[in-house]
Amino acid sequence: MLRQAFLGLVLLFLSVSFAASASKPNLVLITIDSARADRMGFLGAKGTLTPNLDRLAKEGIVFEHAYAQSPTTVVSHATILTGSYPQSTGMSEIGGALPTSLPYLPDLLKSQGYRTGAFVSSIDLDPSNGPAQGFDRGFQSYDAGFLPAIPGDARPPVTERRADQVATRVIAWLDHNAQGQSPFFLWVQISAGRATTASYNSAITAADSAVGKIINTLLQRNIEPTALIVAADHGEGLRDHGEGTSGIFLYDETIHVPLLMKLPQTRVATKPATTRVTAKVRLVDIAPTLLELAAIPVPPQMLGESLLRIANGSGGEKPVYSRSDLPQRGFGWSPLESWRASKYLYIRDPKPELYDLTADPAAAHNLAQSSKGTLDTIAAQLDAFDRRFSGEANKSAELSSSEMQKLASLGYAGLQKSAPTAAAVAGTDPKDKIAVANKVLAAIALDSSKPDRAIAALEPVVAADPNIYLAQYTLGVALAHKGQYAEAVKHLHKAIELQPDSAWGHYEIGAVLVKTGDYKTAVVHLEIATGRLPAFAPAHQALAEAYDHTGRAEDAKRERAKAGK
């Protein structure tokens, strides 16, 4: 009760001081990729994997039951930065662009005088060279600059940055930007990597150390007032429920995430102790929280709720929704949705699942058959939630009439105009195919560094099931890295048949067709790719080369200018 009372005083002071003063707090958001909640000392983990986060927790607010809305990096970060659910952001790990009509946290903060900067550790969140199209909106500086593996390019790919390297770049930014007259918003994304349990624990410690360096810099430079939120975008499977990495399942190992918040220093004399919040909270709640701290109105499109209100007991506990579209988009299986309400976890899939997490925290005993009444009640709640998004679709993924005509001219037939967005469960249950998903996702990590191993792993997969987009796409890319262009085209062609809106599929096949001398066909694919990846210089460069060989010199000149050549 004393801690709750203290928190109430702090929140009251913040609301009065921020509203009455022209000075607004600096805002720092640190997201750790693939960090499981059960590895955090402040959440009960044994050992000393996270000493810096544990120290931060002693002076902050710990949300013991925080949940991601997606088990994938791009989709989850879209939710974090928009305060909107995946149905609204329309993002996917295989493509898409953040809608400009959707309110975006950095954009809102910049419009209210905040200086904005972003530092990311993975090409996945590179708006120019990765799938995070549109993420740089509102950021005055966005530190990414990764380089994908490009067949025929002698430069080695750069797809990740170590946690300590990210911290060093962040500290340099703080030294040059933290003492300005206007407040700043800083987003830092640090990767904990994907590996075996032993090396995963080491990666968690490395991420914790990087967070510690950033926090120490804020303290040593006396950069106040500063509000700090640290969260994971999702967890990691580590073979629990059979999943090797993340992206497919919605169990706690990938959806329950660490989340803690440290408020700015106030004039309250008492040093704050840890405040623990047991109510369920969501990553969709982060953007509204930061806006409230900045005294900026929260747009109605943001469906999250301020963590400050939840921590103060005035917000109440809400059920938690999560979804995974990767099984459908990447593999052609059923999508997954989950609903956490009270003590239950309900997962909607072809073989529905219901778990009592109080009695069965590992979600090992499915109650779907023995507790039909509870199942039907919770399923109805999920249905009602889904109906809120029934009119929404991923417009960024939808093929335009012009794109459809271009593909039809190449012989593509019966293509979907847009990716399926219906919530209805149908098709293959991902539980029955998780071993296949593990093989494909492991091969993705190998396709540029060890293409021979990726090819050996994927050839039997596509032979057994040719309708897995990620397998066909990754195999095609790996073959291209080996210079086996004719075979690469076959698999990339099939990948586009399965996901015709895949901008990266169009780029890869276009780049390969340039290598084979089929410039006319390359132009069609590369025009689609550049339209969907406007900041991706290699696509413009490849299109310029194709234009040159088809007698379109002026078009080639324009594309080279876009490529910065």
pLDDT tens per residue, range 183-209: 999 999 999 866 566 789 999 999 999
State which amino acid sits at residue 540.
H
- Of 25-39, 103-117, 155-169, 409-423, least confident by mean pLDDT is 409-423
Q: Which of 252-261, 308-317, 497-506, 520-529 has the lowest mean pLDDT?
A: 308-317
Are residue 496 and residue 348 in the same domain, yes or no?
no
- Give tens-digit pLDDT for 390-433: 766 555 567 888 888 888 888 887 675 444 444 557 789 999 99
Residue 323 within a domain: no
Mean pLDDT lowest for which of 151-155, 261-265, 269-273, 328-332? 269-273
Closest CA to 30 of 244, 300, 257: 257
Spatial distance between the Cα atoms of 541 and 149, rounded to a whole number of angstroms: 15
Does 325 map to a domain?
no
Q: What is the CATH number of the domain that holds 454?
A: 1.25.40.10
Closest CA to 54 of 171, 209, 189: 209
Residue 52 has a pLDDT of 97
Residue 532 is predicted with a pLDDT of 92
Residue 529 and residue 409 share a domain: yes
Q: Using CA atoms, how far apart are residues 392 and 301, in angstroms rounded to an integer?
A: 13
d(CA 100, CA 544): 28
Percent of the chain at pLDDT > 70 equals 90
What tens digit of pLDDT does each residue of 13-28 get? 454 444 434 479 999 9
C-alpha torsion sign, points 415, 418, 424, 425: positive
CATH code (residue 347): 3.30.1120.10
Coil vs helix vs strand at 480: helix
Residue 269 in domain: yes
Residues 313, 350, single domain; the answer is no
Claim to verify: residue 381 and residue 405 sit in the same structural domain: no
One domain for residues 108 and 241: yes
What domain range is 204 assigned to? 2-318
Split into its structural domains, the chain has a count of: 3
Spatial separation of the C-alpha atoms in residues 295 and 285, rounded to whole Å: 16
Whole-number mean pLDDT of the chain? Answer: 90
- From 318, 349, 377, give the residue that closes a domain: 318
The answer on 428 and 303 residing in a single domain is no
Contacts of 292 (CB under 8 A, 6+ apart): 298, 306, 308
- Per the listing, tokens 């109605």 go with 300
Q: Residues 375, 425: one domain?
A: no
What is the rounded CA–CA span in Å between residue 530 and residue 538? 9
195 burial type by CB count under 10 A (0-12 exposed, 13-18 middle, 19+ buried): middle
The answer on 254 and 199 residing in a single domain is yes
Q: How confident is the model over 255-283, as a mean pLDDT? A: 81
Mark whether 23 and 124 lie in a shared domain: yes
Instruction: Please tell me the pTM assigned to this model.
Output: 0.93
410 & 497 share domain: yes
Residues 6+ apart with CB under 8 A from 541: 559, 560, 563, 565
CA distance 20 to 356: 47
Per-residue confidence band for 2, with pLDDT thresholds at 50, 70 and 90 = very low
Collect all residues with Cβ–Cβ distance below 8 Å to 95 and sequence separation of at least 6: 131, 396, 397, 499, 501, 502, 503, 504, 532
Task: Kindly state whether residues 312 and 336 are assigned to the same domain.
Answer: no
Residue of 46, 401, 70, 376 whose CA lies nearest to 248: 70
H or E element that contains 563: helix 553-563
Establish if 350 belongs to a structural domain.
yes
The tokens for 178 are 């933290």
| The amino acid at 158 | V
> In this structure, what CATH number is given to the domain that contains residue 276?
3.40.720.10
Please indicate, yes or no, whether residues 360 and 495 belong to a single structural domain of this protein. Answer: no
Query: Under a CB-based contact definition with an 8 Å cutoff, are residues 188 and 30 in contact?
Result: yes
Within-domain flag for 508:
yes
What's the full length of the chain, in residues? Answer: 565
Last residue of some domain: 349, 368, 387? 387
